[in-house]
Structures are given as C-alpha cells and as structure tokens.
Amino acid sequence: MNPILPDRIAFLGGYLPRLCGIATFTHDVCEAVAAAAPGAHCFAGAVNDRLDAYDYPSRVRFELDEKDLDSYRRAADFLNFDNADVLCVQHEFGIYGGPAGSHLLALLKEVRMPVVTTLHTVLRDPNSAQRKVMEELVRRSDRLVVMAHKGAEILRETYGVPDDKVDLIPHGIPDLPFIDSSFYKAQLGVEGRMVLLTFGLLGPGKGIEHVIEALPEIVRRHPNVVYVVLGATHPHLVAREGESYRLGLERLAEARGVKEHVIFYNRFVSLEDLKEFIGATDIYLTPYLNEAQITSGTLAYVFGAGKAVVSTPYWHAKELLADGRGILVPFRDPRAIAEGVCNYLDDPTLFQKTRAKAYEVGREMIWPAVAQRYLDSFQRAGADRKATPRKAFAGWTLASRPYDLPPLQLNHIVRMSDGTGIFQHAMFNVPNFHEGYCTDDNARALILCVLLDELGGRPPEELLNRQATSYLAFLTAAMNQETHRFRNFMSHGRQWLEEAGSEDSHARALWALGTCAGRSRNEGHRRLSSLLFERGLPLVETFTSPRAWAFTLLGLHEGLRRLPDHPQMLDTCRLLTDKLVALWQACATEDWPWFEPIASYDNARLCQALLLSGQWLPHPEALTIGLQSLRWLASLQKTQAGHFRPIGSNGFCERGGARADFDQQPVEAQAMVSACLEAYRATRDETWSKEARRAFEWFLGRNDLGQALYDFSSGGCSDGLHQDRISENQGAESTLAFHLSLAEMNFAEHPIAHSMSYN
C-alpha cells in the first residue's frame, strides 16, 4: 500500500515579508508544496524577530515570538488542535530563541504529528549547547532534510544519524530560462558591460572586500567589467553596527580606484527583481569566508539559472561546482579571485560550457521538482511514525505536564532601581530611599539581567541592557581601586558608608562579575566584569567565611565558561574547593552531615559550590559531599505535610538543639532551588528536580501559612514569612530571590540552555 499523502501540512520558520533567507525559503517551499499538492491544505507558522509583527499573507496561520518560550508551547497547542498531519521545520540556530536556538525544542516536545526538519546549517564542530540542541532535534524529528551530501555525511559522523533517516533534497530555485545576459542588461542600464554579481544580506562573513581587492587586476585586463553588490545589510547587523560594513566596502572601492566599477544596490529585492539581476549576470561570485556552510540559497539560485560561478570552497560550493560546473578559489585570496574571473572572460568556450553544465543540473533544483521530493519525505515520515490518532489533551496530567510557571513581571525591580542601582528596601511596594543601596543586591540584580537575557523572551533586550549597565556601574564604583576590596553600603546621597564590606558581599560581587564575564552578550560588560573579577579575586584566599568561598566558587565556575584554561581561576577554584572539603571533614558526623556546628543562612550555596567543582574540575569527593549534605538539608527543610520549610533566621539550627522555623527568608528558598537543580544536572535523578519545585512553590503559597509571598500584581516578593503573617514589605533581596528562582526554573525546563560547559 502506498503511503497516504498528508492532508494538512504545516511549515515553521521565518516568513516573508521578514527579510532573511530562511523567511524566503519557508515561503517558497510552502507555496511550491501547495502547488504540487492542490488537494492539501498548506499553512505556515512565522517566527518573529521583533515586537511589532509583520504584515503576513493569509498563508500564515500562527505566529511566535523568537525569544518568548511560552509562545513555542502555544504554537504546539495550535498545531495539535488544528490536527496538522505533518510539520516541516526550517532549522537555523540563529532564528529561534534560547542558547543555540533551544526554545524550538519546547515546541517539538509537545507536538504530536510527524516532524520533518530541514537543516539549513549542519555543524561539524558544534559547541556544547549546539551539539545538545542538534541531538535533541534529531531525536524529535522523524525525517531530516539536508541540501548537500556533505550534510548527510556530517550527520552520520558527528551525530550518529543513520542514512535512512536523512533525505537529500536540493535548495529550491525558480525556473529561469537559459538566455544570454544582454537581454536584461539594457533594463538595468549596464548594457555593453560584463556583469559580476554577489547578492544576499550583507555582513562581514560574505568576504566582499576580497572581490573589491581583486577588481583592479580584473579591470586592468577587462575594463568593461562592473561588480554589482545586491542586497540590504542584515537587519540584525544594522541594529548593532549600522552600515559600517557597507561604508567600509565603499571606502575600499574608492581607495583601490575602482569606484566606477562597483554598484551597491542596498535593497532586499523581490523575486521578480531578482530574476532580472540574475538574468543580467555573467559571472556570479561567492567569496564567503567560512568553509562550514552547508547551504547557500543565493548560490543555488544563480547556479541553477546557468551562470558561471567563481566561489571560495565552502562545503555547498565544493559540491555544486564539482566536475567543471564552476571555479573554486582559496579563501581570502583576491589574486585567485581575479584569475578565476579572467579565466572565464578570456575563454568564451569555457564560459559557455560551464553555464550549460550548471543549467542542466539546475533542472533538478527547480521548485516543482523539489516540492515533489518534500511530499515524498512527508509520506515517509508518516509511514515511519505510524502514529495513533492524536487527542488534544492526551498525557496532559499534572504528573507529566506540571502547571505553568508564573509569567515574568519585572515592574517592581524597575521601580526599585534608578540610575545609581537598585535600592535595598521597600515600604510595602514603594522604594525606601532612606536605606540606600548595597552591593549584595546590585550583584543579584546583575545576575538576573544576564540570565534573563540568555533565557530570552520578555523583557526586551534594551531594558535588560540598560538595567544591567546600572548594576554593573554600581559594582564598579563599589570596588576600592586602591585595596581592590568591595564596599557594600551606599547612602541615597551616593556616599559610601564603610571602607570595606563583608567578605560575603565581596564574594557576591565576584559571583555577579563572573556570571557577567561568562555569559553576557555585551562585550563591554564582559570585559569590564573580567577586569574587576581579576582584581578582586586574590583577596578571597585570605577570607574565612565559608559562604564567601562558596559565592566565589559560583562566580569562578561562571567565568570558566568563557575562559576554561585560566590558570589563576582554576588554581583559586581548587583552593576554595579544598577549603570547603576540609571544613566538612572536620565537622561532619553521621547524624550531622554538615560543614559547621550551625546551619545558618544561604546554606544550600555550600552544597551547590561543591556540586559544581565536583563535576567540572573534576573533584569526585566534592561531588559526593555536595550531594550528601544537600540530601540532609532537603530532609531537614521538608515538613511532614510535604512542603518546604527553610531554616528560620530567628535562631537558625544548631547541632544538638532545636531548629528555628521562623523567620523564613526568600534567599533560602532561592538557594535551595539553585542547588537542587544543580544536583539534578549532576545526577539526572528526578528527585532533585522535585525538590527544586518544592522549594520554588514556597514562594507561591505552598508553605506553613498557605500564603503566597510573590505578588503577581506588582512583581514584588515579601521580605519573609513569620509565624503569623507574611511581611508586607517587598525589598530588593526578596524580590530578586523570587525572580532568580523563576529564571532558574525556566532554564531547568530546557537543560540545554543552562548546562555548564567549559569550551
């Protein structure tokens, strides 16, 4: 029996009028499949990269926000309810939110129809996050589509994907006639000239500067040459750097004396306009700088139209231009580019022969042929899945799909902050200016901004960057540049109230700076954080506070993400780890498996620090101690009713004595969330995931009073839970404790995003 053609076919990716190659491809493949299967209902989901939505055509039935994790789950719900028979995903790491595009996995985890994923990039040497995303993508896709044999080879050798799961389908192209270029040249005003073309979104990786460097030699031998650079600068590059790359190219053309031979057409052209430019082209140039490019839509378009091509040997070009179908030149070699172009211009027979070969192969790449191969892949995916009928709510019990986490609401944190930093305290939900600022809270606030930016979603990047800048500026001012010791308390009048803060506040500052240095996407923030971290780190070796050791270790492990071989950081990491291990060995007994004769504040941070060192130094004894001490702490902080009860700050818990049940502090719940999630990452034991959720639920009302400390309306969190009431004040420490816990819980739903990796 032949496989049944799917009736409802969904496509996911960017979509026109968004200006990017993936958007164009998603549009084209959707339209081509719709034309090839007129009885099927084809529709698309569009990934937005900006807050103001695009004016999409009717083919787009749903949208999702690139950075909003929840929108991926909502998109999965839509697809399930809509009874899509197959989902065709266009995958490129950069168009989905989260580290290495990990937000996409939230959607793939929930959809219940067969998934066919087109891989526009296949990395041979992925980093840790990219590898984990790709492995999960492979696992959750029924079929994988690559556009070149090299892609299938990398999937097999790097990711262990069997060949029978992979479909090779070339990049689709419009069906253009094989005609002489002079037909179109008059329309573009370049008649009588030999036209060289490069098109696509502009960016530094395109290597156009090397063509401009080659032009003087080309023009010397063929004065009638004109080089057309067609395409807008990539919107993301414009947002970061403006038109500096294009302006640099224009200055280079003027400096090399070829400005009369270069045309920049700064526009994202329609398909109809593009056909005219391709028609007028004699030689197409792709001087890309990176070998690891498995697909080039621009190359496919021009090659399939039967144009002569000179290209650097990136993977797709090497495959497509083999056997005399084009000329390959070394990377970053203007002399070779000039020679390749002139070989064609000097030899009309070679020029025409190459064009004919390219056009012949291109007949297999036109959209009607490609669409039929996609339909074949969809049928194979359905046959492979043998899926049972989908039921929209099947498996949606709380056991398998726990309740959603609260939405992010940073209004109170923004309200508590000004240009100096974040205020320590509040009266109800109003900042208390009288108490001023402290380094502890600004360090916590900086960590939150960095984590939220990495997590993606709301709030927008601009707000996070602005807030992070204020908090980092506060930490910079907090460091005494003579002693390199951090001060802690500052008055509302911006006067420091001490010469040096506590060891704990110094270490919390290092923790925040290490996080910023290791994770931030803002280069200036990273460099300043690294500088301050290196200045403040040596002092910790003289500290006696175990929590200061632990906070510093947390910062060290964050910094080692970016600098895994930093000798000073590694040496200090080993030293502080050994100090905590020695503390444990000197104090722990069978009935008191703890580091000190008292369990006081931020207790779980001691366990968390050893869990990190145990995994990543590695240090097996530290890992064992971290797990054993955390297991004891979890049992000590769990009531018979099953909810979390942190050790109270009104007396703490001494060996041989009664533990204090109140006042319960948000930072204790936050520390427990962090440590338990780290234990889960170290062991994959679901017990720790449940303990983290138990501690997080304390904020939401699963506690001794059955009252939520988190205020959903303001975004603030009460300062503590007393025996008979919750505090009505919403200070910085407590509010940041909740939001840091929420960020970590969101990361935990996508462990790829938060996995430690020193590479």
pLDDT single digits (tens) 576-609: 999 999 999 999 999 999 999 999 999 999 999 9
Nearest C-alpha neighbor of 554 from the set 752, 743, 756: 756
- Cα distance between residue 21 and residue 15, in whole Å: 9
Nearest C-alpha neighbor of 476 from the set 416, 421, 553, 554: 421
**pLDDT score of 516:** 98
**pLDDT score of 338:** 98
- Rounded to 5°, angle at Cα 286 from 284 and 289: 170
DSSP 8-state secondary structure symbol assigned to residue 363: T
Query: Per the structure block, which two tokens stand in for 285?
Result: 């140039």
**pLDDT score of 753:** 47
- Cα distance between residue 555 and residue 537, in whole Å: 10
Instruction: List CB contacts of 203: < 8 A, sequence separation 6 or more.
Output: 233, 234, 237, 245
Query: Per the structure block, which two tokens stand in for 221?
Result: 């031998």
SS3 at position 518: helix
**Crossing angle (nearest 10°) for helices 297-304 and 21-36:** 50
Question: What are φ and ψ of residue 728, in 5° steps?
Answer: -90, -10
Peptide bond into 459 cis (omega under 30): yes
500 with 474: CB under 8 angstroms?
no
Please, is 250 exposed, middle or buried when counting C-beta atoms within 10 Å of its C-beta (0-12, 13-18, 19+)?
middle
**pLDDT score of 407:** 86
Helices H / strands E in the chain, number of each: 28, 19
Query: Per the structure block, which two tokens stand in for 371?
Result: 């669409």
Query: Per the structure block, which two tokens stand in for 729?
Result: 């004040």
Query: What pTM, to 2 d.p., does this model score?
Result: 0.77
Nearest C-alpha neighbor of 200 from the set 229, 242, 176: 229
**pLDDT score of 648:** 96
**pLDDT score of 1:** 39
| Residues 193, 199, 203, 206, CA torsion sign | negative
Please, is 239 exposed, middle or buried when counting C-beta atoms within 10 Å of its C-beta (0-12, 13-18, 19+)?
exposed
Radius of gyration of the chain (CA): 30
Strands 283-286, 115-119: pairing is unpaired
SS3 at position 459: coil
Nearest C-alpha neighbor of 747 from the set 659, 695, 680: 680
Strands 41-48, 308-311: pairing is unpaired
pLDDT digits (tens, 9 = 90+) for 38-69: 999 999 999 998 878 899 999 999 999 998 88
- Cα distance between residue 143 and residue 27, in whole Å: 20
Question: Residues in the chain with pLDDT < 50?
Answer: 1, 387-392, 753, 756, 758-759
- Cα distance between residue 582 and residue 699, in whole Å: 34
Looking at the DSSP bridge assignments, the partners of residue 599 are 653
Question: What are φ and ψ of residue 547, in 5° steps?
Answer: -70, -35
Checking phi first, is residue 289 left (phi over 0); if not, alpha (psi -120 to 50) or beta?
alpha
CB atoms within 10 A of CB 135: 16
pLDDT digits (tens, 9 = 90+) for 300-348: 999 999 999 999 999 999 999 999 999 999 999 999 999 999 999 999 9
**pLDDT score of 389:** 43
CB atoms within 10 A of CB 237: 18
HSE-CB of 458 using CA atoms within 13 angstroms: 10
549 with 580: CB under 8 angstroms?
yes
8 with 14: CB under 8 angstroms?
no
- Cα distance between residue 597 and residue 134, in whole Å: 47
Peptide bond into 618 cis (omega under 30): yes
- CATH numbers and ranges of domains, the chain: 8-172+368-385 (3.40.50.2000), 182-363 (3.40.50.2000), 411-754 (1.50.10.10)
